[in-house]
Structure 1
């Protein structure tokens, strides 16, 4: 047993770290603290504070956790590569076993922070102002470029990186992440929103052996037969169409009217473009959405939209991570600490999805199971303390319940 906390050598989290070989990159005390932070994230009501983890190690001060994230000598880059390898092996293995395609979903989200005062001595590093499309205004915080890997019903985080426009553009970050992936064993698709739909990402996707499907800005120019010389913006073309020009398709439980175009773009010789409206909002202002496929022009409109649906898990990941894993509330300041926090958060997500939910391989179900396991281990710890002679008052003081 590790002295001073409810985490023991038989803890399911410790077993996972060893089994996945992630534990190879930590000393035993470091692995213990990793397990503590993961346990804190799993607990209901986690707020992103280091004190949440400190509550699980009553004999030690919360500054132990803060120093571990900011100063402890472990190589987060090595751990990140090991986690990526683990996730790729799992997703690629499922694809090989089921013959189902691999989806690489790329998107970004903003973790808002409070704008520091001019007198702040230690503001959170790497924060800046970003345009929030969700709120329709500029907000302050971290913009996080994220990659999720999806196959069948399994969704795993591959990368979370802070966007810093002084160092690298989001497009450059996306290209690098695509290039870091092995070729898919069957079909593979890179799925992005309209921000990433550009020539550099198209080319990187093709070179990596994947097919690209993404959202497409409706102010982009295309060249259908009637507008071959000067072209026409997609949103303007939409206004020229009639009911006879569109088809009704069903994607999942929803229905859409669609129109397709196959031809050149300003930066591409040929692509498949799909214009789409919800069934109840055909031709209504602001309801048009466009999608692009650049590598498989024989794909049907229905197939394109069904493939694109697999981008949705990254939105679910953002929502679950912000609500349950502290992605919106982490209270660490240095860039190193923040990167390490994200890494431990991804390991926790993988743990809940891979280790404790073997029947469903879903994070939300795995989180419920992990919480039950954590409570069970806490009760076992209390039992062992009483067997060793600790009084009720000792245990109440240990858990700060006296």
Structure 2
């Protein structure tokens, strides 16, 4: 029987990454089938779906072995993927004459935490505070780093936040930033949970600027007097602000320049939506370490952080970033890397965003399967052989 034609696109991507120099043919075969399964509509994250959705010719247990015991180096795969991503985003940023953006955020892959006496518990699961659900959730907490331009955003690196290891999320982010070797101007984007003094200093040391949301209890020093942002906001009148338009939204903005806790010199924007009252509960506070940027550019650049939120939702909804059933720590990490690989492959195939790429790949797979059956019939291949290869025997 012939190989499936739609696998050729995955092989082409692997060739572009240079994986044949580092992985054996059996490993590459597994990787091709896993990527194929993950792009399949209805994929749930189970080994059964990985086996069935890609029409894998070997028994399902070989996939389990591939995740848990096979000696292939997942870090090599990640490194080659990252090298390709950096070349790609630097080329795009140069063409657009735009800076690079790096977004840092964390997400929880929710799992039901079993009893400590369970014989088959998923390793490294713990309880984590969820900012969105306002409660503690069991599972794995991942700190992700996304590299993007104004038009394309790629998941670049992640670290498992393990409370037992004693490293903070900020320290994990600093470690990931150290692997960024770029020559374009870089703006690191963070929400209000992440801009610690150590992380901001690490960015500045690398020559990266930071644009981040701040909590409104942060201290400002207007005229040398320490005051919380939300208290200072009481003294700002509408005629002290000016209107800034970003996309379809209009904002009232008050600009402060000077020192704040942990920084000697920065810009802080106090921002309200133009159609909302200028009260502390509607206040947003945005930090920029680049004082040369206009208020509009600071807000426009910060809006690029939405890319990482989109990635979390798409990776969970479509590729089941949180749907894995493997239990070992290394197996789970391998699963996450393969989700990342599949996400980037979808963008590679369409040269657009992930959603467009995934739609293209799913449509192409449907067409190729029809063609596969058609050509098998023309070659008088027994129908039972076709059914067996398509896992419908």
TM category, shorter:
over 0.9
SS in 2 for 1:342: helix
Deviation, 1:388, is 4.8
Matching residue of 1:173: 172
User: 1:234–1:287: structure 2 CA closer, same or farther, 3 Å change rule?
Assistant: same
Does the aligned pair in 2 maintain the 1:46–1:325 contact within 8 Å? yes
Aligned equivalents of 1:31, 1:314: Cα separation in 2: 29
Q: Tell me the alpha carbon deviations over residues 125-170 of structure 1, each in whole angstroms, 9 at most, x when there is no partner.
A: 1111111010001111111111111113111111122111332211
Q: Tell me the alpha carbon deviations over residues 260-316 of structure 1, each in whole angstroms, 9 at most, x when there is no partner.
A: 21111122212111111122222245321111012x213221111011111111111
Matching residue of 1:318: 312
Corresponding position: 1:329 with 2:313: no
Give the TM-score, by structure 2 length: 0.94
The 10-residue stretch of structure 1 (371-380 or 86-95) with the greater mean CA deviation from structure 2: 371-380
Q: What's the Cα RMSD here?
A: 1.9
Does the aligned pair in 2 maintain the 1:182–1:208 contact within 8 Å? no
SS in 2 for 1:116: coil
Matching residue of 2:275: 280
Write the mapping of 1:278-317 to structure 2, written as runs, cut at 5 A. Answer: 278-294=273-289, 296-317=290-311
Which of 26, 31, 37 is the aligned partner of 2:28?
31
Aligned equivalents of 2:18, 2:182: Cα separation in 1: 24
Q: Which runs of 5+ in 1 are unaligned?
A: none
User: 1:177–1:391: structure 2 CA closer, same or farther, 3 Å change rule?
Assistant: same
Matching residue of 1:218: 216
Q: Which runs of 5+ in 2 are unaligned?
A: none
Give the TM-score, by structure 1 length: 0.92
Aligned equivalents of 2:127, 2:287: Cα separation in 1: 30
The 10-residue stretch of structure 1 (335-344 or 22-31) with the greater mean CA deviation from structure 2: 22-31
Aligned equivalents of 1:51, 1:363: Cα separation in 2: 25
Aligned equivalents of 2:229, 2:19: Cα separation in 1: 48
The alignment of Structure 1 onto Structure 2 pairs a total of residues equal to: 391
Aligned equivalents of 1:127, 1:218: Cα separation in 2: 32
Q: Tell me the alpha carbon deviations over residues 44-87 of structure 1, each in whole angstroms, 9 at most, x when there is no partner.
A: 11111111121133543222111111111111111111111110
Does the aligned pair in 1 maintain the 2:98–2:150 contact within 8 Å? yes
Does the aligned pair in 2 maintain the 1:94–1:152 contact within 8 Å? no
Aligned equivalents of 1:315, 1:161: Cα separation in 2: 17
Matching residue of 1:347: 341
Corresponding position: 1:94 with 2:85: no
Matching residue of 1:257: 252
Does the aligned pair in 2 maintain the 1:7–1:35 contact within 8 Å? no
Deviation, 1:398, is 4.2
4+ runs deviating over 6 angstroms: none
Matching residue of 1:236: 231
Matching residue of 1:271: 266
Matching residue of 2:150: 152
User: 1:62–1:10: structure 2 CA closer, same or farther, 3 Å change rule?
Assistant: closer
Matching residue of 2:14: 17
